[in-house]
Amino acid sequence: MPTRRTILRAGVLAGAGVAASACKPLSPEKSTSVIAFHGLRQAGVQTSPQSHLVLLGIDLTPKSGAEDLGRLMWLWSDDAARLTSGQPALADTEPELAVDPANLTVTFGIGPRLTQLVSGVTLDPLPHFSTDKLQERWGQTDLVVQLCADDLISLTHAQRMLLKDMAGLGVLRWTQSGFHQRTDDGSSGRNLMGQLDGSVNPRNANEHDALVWADGAWKHGTFLAVRRIEMHLDTWDELDREAREFTIGRKLSNGAPLSGGKDEFADPDLHATDKHGFALIDPASHVARSRSAMNGPQFLRRGYNYVEPTDGTSGLIFMAYASDLAGQFVPVQQRLAEQDLLNQWTQAIGSAVYAIWPGAPKGDYVGRAQLGLPR
């Protein structure tokens, strides 16, 4: 039986894309775990964070052009559309692993080098920040694939299918695996320092439209900054609870600002003082330094915790989604590099930026329209 790649290479695109797979339709209770792949915008950005993440950093083989990239996006989009809906990928050797997608989302993006293949879109690398100690092995790649799901079987299977289909077209440079604490009551999940992380974020469609989704040539796309940040938990643990809360500017128990309020969603008041005139939220604390003068979210933070199994180090795979990284993310990161009490216990060791493609409607694949390729 020909593989998809041999079909594609032979140029027989049309029939292969619609070949039916022999799979059982989703049972009604499983259908709740399906997040549609096709749409104006890619899933996995505005989607509330699933439990597990795998982020793949991939380089295209040298000399690849728009058509090679298009071919890869076609293959991947077909895989993603099937797997996210609970159907096996074409020529799936383990179709049983695809039955419950468990909210699987697959989100594709391209690095600065490949944005040159798309007219009207530029993406600059981030400037150097004084606190960075970046390691080459977590650096910029041509492509990123963000896979998220609530079940590791579904996630791992999708990861494997995409990597299999990439053979000959791309080279895997790094894999970043992470986990997120899901809660039932709408509160943010905790990071490995024990803090509620994600309180100040865009909440509704209007805020996402204003802060996350791009316009113009990249309409319905967005931009992603990935920062791999190691946490020095051994020295962090030496601080007492008060000092840890002081460092962030919020309570550990419920994330409420140290200026008062009943929970993590209360607005921090950076001007509030105690009876001696000392600021309740220290001006050098993480919240004071990262907060906007406008008192609201500045971009979407969709972070995942990590533990590196090879050496036991841990931290945060910090992911910021914004319609304009230079205008929204960079100034905050600059401020934090200049001063942030948290810097003593954290260290950025990886950094990359990507343009996240707009979505593709049913029957189309991600990236085709932007690359100017025929259907």
Output 74 or 354, the one with its CB closest to ligand HEM.
Answer: 354
Name the minimum Å distance from CB 181 to ligand HEM: 13
Cα 333 to the center of its chain, rounded Å: 17
Q: Residue 342 and residue 368: Cα distance in Å, rounded?
A: 43
13 or 332: CB nearest ligand HEM: 332
Which lies closer to ligand HEM via its Cβ, residue 54 or residue 229? 229
Task: Report whether 241 contacts 252 (CB < 8 A).
Answer: yes
Minimum separation from the CB atom of position 188 to ligand HEM (A): 6
3-state helix, strand, coil in the chain (%, to 5): 30, 20, 50
Give the chain's length: 375
Rg of the Cα atoms in the chain = 21
Cβ–Cβ under 8 Å, residues 160 and 145: no
- Let me know: does 217 contact 119? Beta carbons within 8 Å: yes
CB 228 to ligand HEM: min, Å: 10
Cα dihedral sign, 79-81-83-86: negative
CA nearest 94: which of 172, 157, 184, 187?
157
Angle made by CA atoms 189, 51, 301, in degrees to the nearest 5? 55
Q: Which is nearer to ligand HEM, 145 or 336 (CB)?
A: 336
Which residue, 115 or 298, is less far from ligand HEM as judged by CB? 298
Q: Minimum distance from CB of 206 to ligand HEM (Å)?
A: 17
Between residues 27 and 253, which has the closer beta carbon with respect to ligand HEM? 253
CB of 330 to ligand HEM, least distance (A): 8
What's the min distance (Å) between Cβ of 173 and ligand HEM?
22
Contact 87, 17 (CB under 8 A): no
Report the interface residues with ligand HEM, using CB under 6 A: 191, 193, 195-200, 227, 229, 231, 248, 250, 255, 268, 286-287, 290-292, 298, 315-316, 318, 332-333, 336, 346
- 223 - beta bridge partners? 322, 355
Pick 166 or 316: Cβ nearer ligand HEM? 316
What's the closest the beta carbon of residue 267 comes to ligand HEM, in angstroms?
Answer: 8
